Amino acid sequence: MFQTGAGCDEYVVPQEVRLTPPELVDDFVAVLRDAGKAVRKCGRVVVVEDEADAAPEQRLELIFFLRTWALSHPDLAFEVQDGV
């Protein structure tokens, strides 16, 4: 996916987060949007889009956030994959 930046093309690197139980997807999407993340959902998959040059740091941040969020959601299981 490409987005046009000021004077150059910038692209985003999507990360896919699969959550179990799926009932938590809407809550997770709402929390990420409140934090200013570009996010969308497809079923139980949450797609988080980050700028390409920030991808490694953003992935770590997302994983740390998920681990912290899991403390208040003991049934949470998740998997994070880089999108295509």
CATH number at residue 43: 3.30.70
pLDDT at residue 7, as a whole number: 47
Mean pLDDT throughout 69-77?
92
pLDDT bucket at 27, cuts 50 / 70 / 90: very high
pLDDT at residue 14, as a whole number: 85
Mean pLDDT throughout 28-45?
90
In the chain, count H helices and then E strands: 2, 5
In a domain, 4, yes or no: no
Number of domain units in the chain: 1
User: How far is residue 67 CA from its own chain's centroid?
Assistant: 13
**What range defines the domain where residue 58 resides?**
9-82
In a domain, 66, yes or no: yes
Candidate from 4-8, 29-33, 62-66 with smallest mean pLDDT? 4-8
Percent of the chain exceeding pLDDT 70 equals 77
Separation in Å, CA 44 to CA 65, 69, 70: 18, 17, 16
